[in-house]
Amino acid sequence: MTQYEPDATAPITETPITEIPEATEIPETPQATDRTAAQSEFGPLYAVAGLTDALAASLRETLRQTQERAALRMSLLRSRPAELERQAKNNAEELSRLLRSVPDQAKALPETTVARMSELQKQLHAYLEEASVTYAELAGRGKRAVDETLAQARNLSGRAERKAADV
């Protein structure tokens, strides 16, 4: 099968296939970008792009840290078998103490549950506020990532057009 070759007789049109938002010409502050990105019609897209960017960065850092911790723990495990045996005995004793306290904890469960529900409602309101702020930040981050990618694509497209014109 032959490689795709564009039809040289086809007319070249200047109209874009889809509407792509223009990158911001005047640099905005991150807060202003966050606000405008969250309020634009592309807000959900920007939020997903920002979340993806944040997750990728977080995963890379988590992987690096996990590898470091694993290497450290492996070296510690190899060097301290007697200490680990003592720690296992201490953990077994602590578990035994915890199991003996279960009946008392069961008796206090109704009062504890009411107090915990009140705490959880307060936390819920705090999390909702935090989620709103995070959404705006992710939308802003996504808009900046999309704008940067569009600028790079336009730059590459411009260079390709210039090279094509030179040929």
- pLDDT tens for residues 65-105? 999 999 998 887 777 777 777 888 899 999 988 888 888 87
For the cut 90, the answer to whether the pLDDT of residue 64 exceeds it is: yes
Distance in angstroms (rounded) separating the CA atoms of residues 135 and 48: 9
How far apart CA 156 and CA 153 sit, in angstroms, is: 5
d(CA 35, CA 141): 11
Q: pLDDT class for 108, splitting at 50, 70, 90? A: confident
pLDDT tens-digit map of 14-48: 544 455 555 545 556 777 777 787 788 888 888 88
In a domain, 37, yes or no: yes
Residue 133 lies in a domain: yes
Q: What confidence tens digit (pLDDT) does each residue in 123-157 have?
A: 999 999 999 999 999 999 999 999 999 999 999 99
What pLDDT was estimated at residue 27? 58
- Is residue 63, in this structure, part of any structural domain at all? yes
Tell whether 135 is covered by a domain: yes
| Most distant CA atoms of the chain, gap in Å | 86
Q: Is residue 19 part of a domain?
A: no
Number of domains in the chain: 1
Q: Which two tokens stand for residue 73?
A: 């723990």
Is 24 a domain residue? Answer: no
Instruction: Answer whether residue 60 is part of any domain.
Output: yes
Domain of residue 89 covers 31-166
DSSP 25: S
CB atoms within 10 A of CB 141: 22
* pLDDT on residue 115: 87
Determine the pLDDT at residue 16.
Answer: 45
Give the model's pLDDT for residue 26.
Answer: 55
Q: How confident is the model at residue 2 (pLDDT cuts 50, 70, 90)?
A: very low
Is 55 within a domain? yes
pLDDT band at 122 (very low <50, low <70, confident <90, very high): very high
